[in-house]
């Protein structure tokens, strides 16, 4: 069964600190992996998209990694800001029809 699991479920950090969010997937055949940021009361916003051959991708203070062998991805946030408080969702695209398998997200709170 295609699944995307994220950890931790929630995380609280202090402003300025770094953090890493994890995503494990059992999706086959794999097409690409995406990270989205979802602010409370808003729709998801794309952060990164990685294909099988890419193992690192950055978007400002966000850096995503992908290990296609172990089927793991991480999202590293550097020098966190209050505006980083949001849910971060890992999404894996599967198969030739590119079906999207959504994770449940990690809820991040950045406190001053």
Partner 1 sequence: NAGVTQTPKFRILKIGQSMTLQCTQDMNHNYMYWYRQDPGMGLKLIYYSVGAGITDKGEVPNGYNVSRSTTEDFPLRLELAAPSQTSVYFCASSNDRIRANEKLFFGSGTQLSVL
What is the binding site for partner 1 (CB under 8 A)? 4, 31-32, 41-46, 49, 51, 89, 93, 98, 100-105
Cβ 49 vs Cβ 58: under 8 Å: no
Least CB distance to partner 1 at residue 18 (A): 26
What's the rounded Cα separation, in Å, for the pair 30 and 94?
Answer: 5
Residue closer to partner 1 by CB (options 9, 70) is 9
Residue closer to partner 1 by CB (options 80, 93) is 93
Least CB distance to partner 1 at residue 112 (A): 26
Residue closer to partner 1 by CB (options 15, 49) is 49
Least CB distance to partner 1 at residue 46 (A): 5
How many of the other CB atoms lie within 10 Å of CB of 56? 11
Residue closer to partner 1 by CB (options 14, 45) is 45
Q: What are phi and psi of 88, to 5 degrees?
A: -115, 120
Least CB distance to partner 1 at residue 17 (A): 27
Which strands form 3-7's sheet, in the order they lie side by side? 3-7, 19-26, 72-77, 62-67, 56-59
What's the rounded Cα separation, in Å, for the pair 9 and 89?
Answer: 11
């Amino acid at each position: 069964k295609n699944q995307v699991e994220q950890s931790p479920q929630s995380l609280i950090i202090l402003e300025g600190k770094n953090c890493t969010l994890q995503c494990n997937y059992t999706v086959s055949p794999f097409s690409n992996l995406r990270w989205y940021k979802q602010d409370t009361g808003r729709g998801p916003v794309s952060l990164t998209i990685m294909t099988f051959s890419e193992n690192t991708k950055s978007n400002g203070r966000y850096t995503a990694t992908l290990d296609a062998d172990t089927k793991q991805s991480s999202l590293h946030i550097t020098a966190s800001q209050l505006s980083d408080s949001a849910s971060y969702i890992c999404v894996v695209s599967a198969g030739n029809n590119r079906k999207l398998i959504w994770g449940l997200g990690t809820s991040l709170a950045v406190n001053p």
